[in-house]
Amino acid sequence: MTAKVNSCYVPAEKRRSTLIEDAAVIIAAEGPRKNTSLLISETGNIEAIGPKSEIKEKFDAAEIALSARKLLVMPGFVNNHSHIAMTLLRGLAEDLPLLSWLRDKIWPLEANLKPWQIEVGAAVGAAECLLSGTTNVNSNYFFDPSGSEASAAFNVGIRGTFSHGVFDWTAEQALKLTKEFVETWHGKDRGRIRIATGAHSPYSCSPSLLKELEALRYELNEKHGGIYRILSTIHVAEATTEANEIQEKYKVSARNGIAAYLDSLGVLTRDTIAAHAIHLLDDDFAAFKRTGASIASCPVSNLKVGMGVANLPRDIAEGITVSLGTDGPASNNTLDMLETVKFASLLQKGIQGDTTALGAKTAFDLATAGGARSLHLPDTGRLAPGMKADLVVLDLATISATPFHDPYNHVVFAARSGDVRDVFVDGRLLVENRKLKTINMENLVGAVDEAISELRASSPTLA
């Protein structure tokens, strides 16, 4: 199968210095700049942003020039919570109660997934991310040395943080695989690929397992952390039933909130990325504030699975780092951050009955800089000299951009993923004129077809 999976990839071209000339607008770190240019160096960083004449005067000629008069340049989206390999399970089971969806459909299917199928699913997911303007993804699934989300991302070229799902019933093997995942992949390609720990949730991991995993993370950070810290991800307060389930199963108290409970175990830290965080109590907000743990909110998945709406304005007002994610394609069903950022804003306006709630600029920041902050990647998520060139070029010569007034309003409320024209990650041009250069689409579709027919043959729940 290795040959089949490898035939899905096209080797990335080398980095070349690129001058994006006279962009209609660049959403730079200090704010939007009109009719301005951006130089990407061959080291993969942003060298300069400013008038073309100034850049040409100060810097050597770029190898490539991209005329951008009808284009918008922005930082790539950071999808801070997903399970990209689950693109394989997209649309397979719908309209079921959450726990029966997980226990009767998803988990039995996942038990049959082979590493090559996971890698193929993740390659489709990484492709969908890039083609819809995401340059950095935080994704949790299952690691195997012969195929994983990390190996797919490495080949497709997206930046990512990946973790192996840990549950009570896989504990021993999962701790071993987490260690091996870190040793094999953490920091690969100048830190483009990073590994985190991935406890599934406080209702599927016992307190002692959560502590054991956290102790392992400390140990791994000592050895392999370096400049790229090994972070931790976990689903938190997605359902209202979690506190009861934890209390009954583990005979502990979680009545002050799920995040507060994690804090009491010592496993909520500034390195923790809590997915969802919908049903928070006062003590939870205090725990987030005290520890510096961050939130990855997944508004579309939360709606689809009927879990509720997180109170993002309060999270932000409390000073918590908030970012956005799509969650897995089995519960969303896309990896499209343009859709997610719009839902994030509209939901708050609708729920709070307030048109000023979570405005376009704030939503845009959550989907870009917020994710970078949560992932401890200060040199991504914004466009400024010295930052990594993880950026997206949007077409403005489209009906959705006619007329064009404000860049934040356009991106958050009107732009469509089909408007994503070019995408750079770490200075590499991966999507050029809407075509992903690192994937052989025909071979990938063939591999997906084969993976699905094998899965159907081996999974009674798929009848």
| Residue ranges that bind Zn ion, judged by CB under 5 A | 327
| Between 16 and 304, CB nearer to Zn ion | 304
How far apart are CB 165 and Zn ion at their closest, in Å? Answer: 9
- HEC sequence for the chain: CHHHHHCCECCCCCCCCEEEEEEEEEEECCEEEEEEEEEECCCCEEEEEECHHHHHHHCCCCCEEEECCCEEEEECEEEEEECHHHHHHCCCCCCCCHHHHHHHHHHHHHHHCCHHHHHHHHHHHHHHHHHCCEEEEEEEECCCCCCCHHHHHHHHCCEEEEEEEECHHHHHHHHHHHHHHHHHHCCHHHHCEEEEEEECCCCCCCHHHHHHHHHHHHHHHHHHHCCCCCCEEEEECCCCCHHHHHHHHHCCCCCCCHHHHHHHHCCCCCCEEEEECCCCCHHHHHHHHHHCCEEEECHHHHHHCCCCCCCHHHHHHCCCCEEECCCCHHHCCCCCHHHHHHHHHHHHHHHHCCCCCCCHHHHHHHHHHHHHHHCCCCCCCCCCCCCECCEEEEECCCHHHCCCCCHHHHHHHHCCHHHEEEEEECCEEEEECCEECCECHHHHHHHHHHHHHHHHHHCHHHC
In the bound state with Zn ion, the residue whose beta carbon lies nearer, of 84 and 447, is 84
Instruction: For the CB of residue 441, give the shortest distance to Zn ion in the complex, in Å.
Output: 27
Cα–Cα dist 14/7, whole Å: 19
Smallest gap from Cβ 328 to Zn ion, in A, equals: 6
Which residue of this chain has its Cβ atom nearest to Zn ion in the complex?
Answer: 327
Smaller CB distance to Zn ion: residue 327 or 390? 327
For the bound state, the minimum distance from the C-beta of residue 63 to Zn ion, rounded and expressed in Å, comes to 41
Q: Which is nearer to Zn ion, 21 or 327 (CB)?
A: 327
CB nearer Zn ion, residue 330 or residue 430? 330
Question: Among 7, 44, 49, 12, which residue's Cα sits nearest to residue 32?
Answer: 49
Task: State the minimum distance, in angstroms, from the CB of residue 81 to Zn ion.
Answer: 6
Compare residues 83 and 159 and give the one whose CB is closer to Zn ion: 83
- Residue closer to Zn ion by CB (options 37, 139) is 139
As measured in angstroms, the least distance from the Cβ of 297 to Zn ion is: 12
Q: Which residue lies nearer to Zn ion by CB, 315 or 327?
A: 327
149 or 327: CB nearest Zn ion: 327
Q: At its nearest, how many Å lie between Zn ion and the CB of residue 317?
A: 25
CB of 156 to Zn ion, least distance (A): 21
Q: Quote the least distance from Cβ 200 to Zn ion, whole Å.
A: 9
Q: How far is the CB of 404 from Zn ion (least distance, A)?
A: 35
Which CB sits closer to Zn ion, 94 or 406? 94
Residues in the chain: 463
